[in-house]
Structure 1
Amino acid sequence: METTDAFAGLECVACGAVADVEAATHRCPECGGHLDPRYDYDAVSLDRDELASRPFDSLWRYEEVLPFPREAAVTTNEGATPLIDCPTLADELGVERVLLKDDGRNPTGATADRGQTVAVTAANLHGASDVALPSTGNGGQSAAAYAGRAGLESHVFLPARSGFTNKAMVNVHGGDMNVVGGRYADAVRAFEEAMAEYDGDGGGENDDGEEWYSLAPFETPFRREGQKTLGYELVEQLEWTVPDAVVVPTGSGVELAGLYKAATELLELGLVDETPALYAAQAAGCAPITEAFEAGRDAHEPVEYPDTICGDIEVPDPAASTHVLEAIRETDGGAISTDDHEILESAVTVAQHEGLEVAPSPAAAVSGAWELAERGAFDGDETVVLLNTATGNKEADVLRSHLMGQGV
């Protein structure tokens, strides 16, 4: 398998065992824990001048800190999304500067493309014929797109409440869409039942010789590797100045975990000398990370009855809550939750005052930042980055319905 020079294998975050990427595709062969790609940072030749000489065209411009080289990538030039000043939001939050990292401008309209380009590349290099995952929506659409580009079959398990666009585009990309009654937890169970028919570490073959390869968040070690490029882009776009805070809409937590890894790598490589405070923003109707943070726990307790319009971040039992909680605590960040009305109002406000289209779920980052400001989390001289994980037109009907409910 073709890997980058500095890539040193997969390390188990639970027991510390190191596995070869060709032998272990998903879980630790020793204890079953999550695996995390590791690098020999002394072997990474990457500095500010080198990056300045490269076109800002794709997340694969950071291939030295990714497991696979750009020439092997299944890519549609994802990443390299704009970082946009929002002066009206800055005034309303009472801070010096607010910027929106608009990852809704990725090829399928969502930040999920960052993770799927790396994860599907891994599946392709591992010789998989089929990929499979449960998804709240955007990740499934993205997986189907990248699988189609790689010539792989995709099997996506979506809850019935997923948006029409996500469902439609899974089929348009040639994916096998499995709509499961209920919510995300029901889709996860259906996915697990389907995967139980196959052998192997995260995949295998059935009697027909079909091979499935899991792209579930944190089950594959590679999705957060793609997501970490957000952190590299942010500091480079800010001319190597680290923002004071980054507010991240959080469901599974893969984006936040990726940003934390980027922060530690940027320090290790000497490209920056500090880390931003990372904040997880959730909907009050499904906020297991926020509840665990506020209670001082190291892991979440599953939400028994999730209830929020923000389906893309409605993940009641996030698989890697310990990693997310570590990330926000180690960076002196935090977790915040706001109710659906505040979240939808935030999406509308951004559209009307800044001209930017933010989907309902990522608007939790905007309403979360407002709540943080009201609680006195900011002094007034901060640079705050808000992550938009999906374009607003994916769920325009939800935002329009909210306006109609206000008599607009």
Structure 2
Amino acid sequence: METTAAFAGLSCVDCEETFDAETATHRCPDCDGILDPAYDYDAIDLTPADLERRDGDSMWRYAELLPFPRSAAVSLGEGATPLVECPALADAMGVGRVLLKDEGANPTGTFKDRGQSVAMTAAREHGASDVALNSAGNAGQAAAAYAARAELDAHVFLPSRAGFTQKAMTEVHGAELTVTDPVGGNSQISDAGAAYTAAMQDHPEWYSTKTFVTPYRHEGKKTMALELLEALDWEAPDAVVYPTGGGVGLVGMHKAAREARELGWADELIPMYAAQAAGCAPVVDAYEAGADRHEPLDDDAIDTACNGIAIPDPGASHLILEAIRESDGGAVATTDHEILDAAIEVARSEGLEVGATCAAAVSGAFALAESGEFDADDTVVLLNTGAGNKDVDSLRAHLGEREAMERDGSVA
């Protein structure tokens, strides 16, 4: 197994035992907790000055802080996404700067590529022939693409409510697609999870790249924070507002901020804010209640069209809540109407395309600004985790409804 010099193995976030990455591949062998890649930071021979001399071609420019070297990477050129100034949004929010980190520029159009790049590298290093996961949509498409790159067979389980683009491209990349479609309506990610679990029982040889089952997806996504900090000369912004479902990227970004501080590259952590849809906000509910973990929602309680963050039972909510509290961040929920309006606002005021789900970060930031959470000179970063064309039907339908209401005089 080809690893980087500083990669020291896997540590369980629950029981704190450590394991050799050669033999521990997924959850903790002792307590079934989440495994987290660990490093000997004294062994990292890398400085911000070194990074300045490197090409910004992909997230693998930070390989010293990843488990695997660039030479082993299953890569499609993910990462190195733009950080775009949004002066109109800054004026509207009443803050000093608004920057949008546009993950829609990744190869399959979402930040999921970062996680699947590292997870698929691990799968190949462990000698897997087949990979499997369930997903709300984008991670399934990304897994199919990276499995194709790695010459692995992929088995993807999606709910019927997943977008047409994600379903179609999963098959175009050659994966075996299973869409769960129970009688009586659209299936949820939990239905896809049940189908995935049953299939894994029948095929124990399949290698999982499922959220927080593999230790490596959040590790790839932490590079979003490294890119952000480097672009800001290693000074943390005042807030990052992150559209949160499973929270993998938020947890990964917080880990990277802690590592940057540990290495002496940055002085402060990045305040992380979880943004959810009001119709499925278990993390926000737990945060506001002062709880350490969420209370799972029943599937029939989900009332949002934002598929990517319609996660009623995020398995790592304790890590999400720990991250937002340790970083002095927060959590906010807004309605679907506010979220879709925000996506249109960004397109019209800044020319940028954000996904319908991802616009929860924008509407959440507006809500936080209105509540007085931000100061007039703050720098606020919005994470657009996926391209707007992933959700074109939802965005166009909302625009049509809004225009019809305006014609009817229902909206001023």
Q: Give the TM-score band, short-chain normalised.
A: over 0.9
Deviation at 1:16, TM superposition (A): 1.1
Aligned residue-pair number: 397
Task: Measure, in 2, the Cα distance between the counterparts of 1:23 and 1:94.
Answer: 52
Aligned to 2:67, what secondary structure does the other structure show?
Answer: coil
Give the equivalent residue in structure 2 for 1:207. none
Can you list the C-alpha shifts for 1:284-329, whole angstroms capped at 9, x where unaligned?
0100000000001000011111110100111000010000000000
SS in 1 for 2:144: helix
Whichever residue aligns with residue 353 of structure 2, its letter is E
**Are 2:314 and 1:309 equivalent residues in the alignment?**
no
> Which segments of structure 1 move beyond 3 Å, counting only runs of 4 or more?
none
Amino acid at match of 2:179: V
Which residue identity is paired with 1:239? D
- 2:276 is aligned to 282
Q: Which amino acid aligns with 1:255?
A: G
Residues 341-380 of structure 1 aligned to structure 2 (within 5 Å):
341-380=337-376
Whether 1:155 and 2:155 are equivalent positions in the alignment is yes
Which whole-Å CA distance do the structure 1 matches of 2:93 and 2:276 have between them?
A: 18
What aligned pairs does 1:64-83 form with structure 2 within 5 A after superposition?
64-83=64-83
Q: Report if aligned partners of 2:13, 2:35 keep a CA contact under 8 Å in 1.
A: yes
Match of 2:335 in 1: 339
Asked if residue 391 in structure 1 is aligned to residue 387 in structure 2, the reply is yes
Aligned equivalent of 1:319? 315
Q: Secondary structure at the match of 2:202?
A: coil
2:184 aligned residue = none
- Please state whether the residue corresponding to 2:177 is helix, strand or coil: strand
5 Å-filtered alignment, 1:192-341, equals 192-199=197-204, 204=205, 212-304=206-298, 305-341=301-337
Per the TM alignment, residue 33 of structure 1 is displaced from its structure 2 partner at its CA by 1.1
Structure 2 residue 383 is the aligned partner of structure 1 residue 405: no
What TM-score, normalized to structure 2?
0.95
Distance 2:28 2:269 in 1: 29
Distance 2:138 2:347 in 1: 21
Structure 2: distance between partners of 1:31 and 1:308: 34
**Where does residue 191 of structure 1 map in the other structure?**
196
Q: Is the 8 A contact 2:235 2:268 kept in 1?
A: no
Partners of 2:258 and 2:203 in 1: how far apart? 36
Contact conserved, 2:235 with 2:267, CA < 8 A, in 1? no
* C-alpha deviation, 1:407, in angstroms: 2.1
1:128-174 deviations in Å (ceiling 9; x for gaps): 01110010010000000000010000011101011100000000000
**Aligned equivalents of 1:26 and 1:279: distance in 2?**
28
* Secondary structure at 2:342 match in 1: helix
Counterpart amino acid of residue 337 in structure 1: A
Question: What CA RMSD, in Å, does the superposition of the two structures yield over aligned residues?
Answer: 0.7
> What 5-or-longer segments of structure 1 have no aligned partner?
205-211
**TM-superposed deviation, 1:198:** 3.5
1:19 to 2:19 alignment: yes
Q: Distance in 2 between matches of 1:352 and 1:214?
A: 40
Question: What are the ranges of 5 or more consecutive residues in structure 2 without an aligned counterpart?
Answer: 182-186, 405-412
Q: Following TM superposition, by how much is the alpha carbon of 1:400 offset from its aligned partner in structure 2, in angstroms?
A: 0.5
- In 1: Cα distance, 2:32 partner to 2:162 partner: 31
The DSSP-based 3-state class of the residue aligned with 1:407 is helix
Q: What's the TM-score once normalised by structure 1's chain length?
A: 0.96
Offset at residue 56 of structure 1 (A): 0.6
